Amino acid sequence: MKVGVLGGGTMGSGIVQVAAQNGHDVVLVDLNQEVLDKSKAKLAKIMARLVEKDRVSQEESDAIQARIHYSQDVNDFNQSGIVIEAIIEDLGVKSKVFAQLEGIVPKGCILASNTSSLSIASIAASLKNPSLAIGVHFFNPAPLMPLVEIIPAVQTSNETLDKTKTLIDGWKKVTVICKDTPGFIVNRVARPFYGEALRIYEEGVADFATIDWAMTSIGGFRMGPFTLMDYIGNDINYTVTETVFAAFYFDPRYKPSFTQKRHAEAGYLGRKSGRGYFDYEEGAEKPVANEDQELGKQIFERILVMLINEAVDAYFLNIGTKEAIDLAMTKGVNYPKGLLSWADEIGLDVVLNKLQAMYEEYGEDRYRPSPLLRRMVKNGETFFG
C-alpha cells in the first residue's frame, strides 16, 4: 500500500521513516520546501548512524530513502491507500485539509489524523464519507516509541478500523484502541504525574528536585515530573493541560497550575529556553534533593494513587480495555509498570483508603475515588486476577 504523510515536522518525519522502513512507498507533503529538505537530511543522518551501528545494511538504507518522495503538492496523494496527517494542531486548518484530501485520494483511501487533542469526530465531519476517517496517535519520537493509539470516531467504519490496526500492527507497533475522548488514554491518564507534582510543590511539601528524586529513586520512573515538563516545554505541557481541563467541562481533577503558568509566562520553558524548573545554562548549580525516605515515600504514593485513580476511571468509562490502559502507559510514556497491575500489587483497598483520606482532608472533588475502585474493593476484586 502507498502511504501518504501530510506535514513534515517532528511527527510527520518520524512517521515517514517508520512507513518506509516497513517497505512502503511514501509521499511526504509539506507546504514548506525548507521543511522537506530538513526532513530528508535528518533521515539521511539517522540512516547513516544505523548503518554505522550495523543495524541496517547500506543497501537497505539506500532502499528506504529511495522509497520516499518529497513534495509540496497534495495532488501527489492520488495513489495513496492511507494518508496520515501531522500538520498544525488547529481544527479549522485540519478540517479544510481533510475536505481537500478527499477530493484527491483514490476511492476508499483512509484519512488518518495524528492529532493529540482534537476530537476525531469533528475532523471526520469535514468529509463527505466520514467512515474513512480515524485517529492514529504516535508518540515522539515515532520510530522509537512503540505505542500508537488508534481512535475510531463515532462515524468510523469497522473496515477502516480493522485495516488501520492491521497496517500499524504490521509496523511492529503496539496498538491500543481508545475511545474518542479528550487526551485519549495516555494524555488523560498521565495528567496527575504533572498536576499532583505541581500541587505538592505549591503546598510547600517539597521542592522540584526532591519531588523528582522521589518519583525516580523510590517510584522507579525514568524521569521526574519537573525534568519531564522541562523536556516537553512548559508552554506545551501547560496548553495540553488547559485543553484537557476545558474539554472535560472543567472537571477539577484536571485543573492547570499557576506555578506552571507563571513559568511559561516568564519564558522558563525548559530545556529549549535554557531554563525551566531547573537551570540548564553551563555551570549552573544543580539543586540538591532532600533524600528523606519517609517524605519521598509520601510524595511518590500521593502521585501514584492519583495516577491509578485516573487509570481506573478511564477503564470504568470504557476509554480502553484494562490491557490497553496498562500497555499505553508502559509503551507510550515508559512507566515502570501498568497502573492497573500496580494497583493489584499494592492492593485496591490501600489505594482507595489513601484517596479517601485525601478526599476528606481537602474536601476537593479532585481527590474523589473512581466509583469502580469503590465497587471493586467492596466486592474484593482485582484487575488481573
- Torsion 90-93-96-99 (CA) sign: negative
**Cβ-closest position to ligand NAI:** 9
Instruction: HSE, CB side, 13 Å, CA atoms: give it for residue 6.
Output: 26
- The site map against ligand NAI for 8-47 (x = CB under 6 A) is xxxxx----------------xxxx--x------------
CB 80 within 8 A of CB 39: no
**Is residue 143 a contact point for ligand NAI (CB under 6 A)?**
no
365: cell is: 472533588
44: cell is: 539521511
Cα-based distances in Å from 342 to 36, 118, 155, 292, 376: 43, 30, 35, 24, 15
**In whole angstroms, what is the distance from residue 190 CA to residue 183 CA?**
9
**Is residue 246 a contact point for ligand NAI (CB under 6 A)?**
no
- Positions annotated as catalytic residues are 116, 137, 149, 187
What is the closest distance, in whole angstroms, from the C-beta atom of residue 96 to ligand NAI in the complex?
Answer: 8
Cα-based distances in Å from 34 to 19, 70, 71, 131, 327: 22, 11, 11, 34, 37
What is the closest distance, in whole angstroms, from the C-beta atom of residue 93 to ligand NAI in the complex?
Answer: 6
What is the closest distance, in whole angstroms, from the C-beta atom of residue 259 to ligand NAI in the complex?
Answer: 22
**Is residue 269 a contact point for ligand NAI (CB under 6 A)?**
no
**Is residue 84 a contact point for ligand NAI (CB under 6 A)?**
no
**Is residue 115 a contact point for ligand NAI (CB under 6 A)?**
yes
What is the closest distance, in whole angstroms, from the C-beta atom of residue 378 to ligand NAI in the complex?
Answer: 38
Per DSSP bridges, beta strands 147-151 and 133-138 are: antiparallel
Name residue 110's beta-bridge partners.
82
Selected from 57, 58, 79, 140, the binder of ligand NAI by CB under 6 A is 140
Per DSSP bridges, beta strands 68-71 and 82-85 are: unpaired
Count of C-beta atoms within a 10 Å radius of residue 192: 24
**Is residue 86 a contact point for ligand NAI (CB under 6 A)?**
yes
**Is residue 48 a contact point for ligand NAI (CB under 6 A)?**
no
User: How many residues belong to the site for ligand NAI (CB under 6 A)?
Assistant: 24
Residues 342-351: b if buried by 16+ CB within 10 A, e if exposed: bbbeeebeeb
**Stretch of 84-92, 193-201, 208-216, 217-225 lying at the interface with ligand NAI (CB under 6 A):** 84-92
Give the nearer residue to ligand NAI in terms of CB position, either 93 or 288: 93
**Stretch of 108-116, 169-177, 244-252, 286-294 lying at the interface with ligand NAI (CB under 6 A):** 108-116
Give the nearer residue to ligand NAI in terms of CB position, either 31 or 357: 31
What is the closest distance, in whole angstroms, from the C-beta atom of residue 68 to ligand NAI in the complex?
Answer: 15
* 3-state SS class at 148: strand
Query: Any idea what DSSP says for residue 16?
Result: H
* 3-state SS class at 40: helix
**Stretch of 76-84, 85-93, 307-315, 345-353 lying at the interface with ligand NAI (CB under 6 A):** 85-93
Count of C-beta atoms within a 10 Å radius of residue 2: 19
**In whole angstroms, what is the distance from residue 52 CA to residue 49 CA?**
5
**Stretch of 136-144, 149-157, 195-203, 356-364 lying at the interface with ligand NAI (CB under 6 A):** 136-144
Site for ligand NAI in 286-345 (CB under 6 A): none
What is the closest distance, in whole angstroms, from the C-beta atom of residue 76 to ligand NAI in the complex?
Answer: 12
Residues that bind ligand NAI (CB under 6 A): 6-12, 29-32, 35, 86-89, 93, 97, 114-116, 137-138, 140
